[in-house]
A and B are shown apart, each in its own frame.
Chain A
Amino acid sequence: MGSQELLKTILADAYTIDDFRRQLRIRRERLADELFRQSRPENARDQAKEQAWRQHQALAAEAQKAQGNKVIITLAIKLPKKEIRRLGRWFRANVHPQVLLDLRVDPQIIGGAIISWQGIEKDFSLRSQIKNIVWETRLKP
């Protein structure tokens, strides 16, 4: 399996950055097992080692690239896995096919979300809307 395919396999099941890292760690451990397995015949061992090492390197590069498509979302509640998958699918459909979510929880925002994408953050929370309403109806000196 090529590194691209391996990454797609990982991303298909991992929507958050934490899940992605976990999956990546598991894959790396498997590759390491492959790399250091002794049960292969002597002639096939070096070839398998080399292939596993290349895959390991390529996966690391892809993973680095994938983590660049990270979106930080601050929510008022902690979402269950089902809703996280839904949210991830929404992002991959509307933003980027390999996007990873970095979910954070801040109950003070009341509702909605604060989104940070490619280094820019914007507040779409209910707290922000309330603030805007208060600002628009602020007292005039």
Chain B
Amino acid sequence: MIELSNEALILIFLTLIVIYPTLLLLVASFFSRRERERTVKREVRQDYERQLKKLSRLLKAELTERLDQFLSEFLAELAEHLSQQVDIEADVDRQRRRIEAETQKYAANLKKLEEKLTADWQKSEERSRQTLEVLIDEAQKRFNQQFEEELAAARRAIKNYQETRMRKIERKLTALVEDVAYRALKKRLSFSDQTELIYKALEEAKQEGFFEDR
């Protein structure tokens, strides 16, 4: 074990005497501070709680007010919408009734128009039939007339053609007969025959009065 001198002990004692109050002070200070802190904390907490309560009240009030306002606006708007919807429904109903009325009117008009058209069509058909009959009759007459004219023209053309052909044939036949007669008689007619024919022609002319004064 350590042995301490008196002086040391005294010094320690003195030191302790000096340190003890300090320590006491420190401890006291420590506790005091601690107490103060607690107090401050409590106060702060209380203040916080108060503030919080206040803020809660304020927030609640604000929220309540806003909610009321929103609800009232919403309700007003809803009421307005409902009112508008009612108006629209009423309008739609009116329009529907009007459309139904118009449809009925249109159907009635359509029926009338159909009846009128049917009647007109029947009249027109009758008129057309009559006109067509007249036209057919006229066309038939014209056709018959034209046919008769064309037939007559064709007959005339055929007759003309026949006559022309006959004239041509006759001319050819005459020329042929003349040629044959010429060839046959040229060799067979003697001089006395020729003179006889000449005087016969002269006598014929005389008998006809060809040489009489004109």
Contacts and interface: CB of A to CB of B under 8 A. Distances in A.
Majority DSSP secondary structure for residues of B touching A: helix
B156 to A, nearest CB: 12
B197 interface: yes
A120 B211 CA distance: 10
A134 B201 contact: no
A141 B210 contact: no
Nearest to B198: A113
Contact of A75 (B162, B166, B198, B211): B198
B169 A126 contact: no
Contact of B194 (A111, A131, A135): A111
Interface string A128-141: 00110011001101
Contact of A141 (B163, B186, B211): B163
Contact of A126 (B163, B181, B214): B181
A117 B174 CA distance: 27
Interface string B61-99: 000000000000000000000000000000000000000
B149 to A, nearest CB: 22
B177 A110 contact: no
B206 interface: yes
Given A111-B194, A131-B174, A122 B211 contact: no
Interface residues of B, number: 33
B168 to A, nearest CB: 11
A6 to B, nearest CB: 26
B201 A130 contact: no
Contacts of B162: 141
A125 B201 contact: yes
B173 A111 contact: no
A51 to B, nearest CB: 35
Interface of A: 75-77, 79, 83, 87, 90-91, 94-96, 107-108, 110-113, 115, 117-118, 120, 122, 124-127, 130-131, 134-135, 138-139, 141
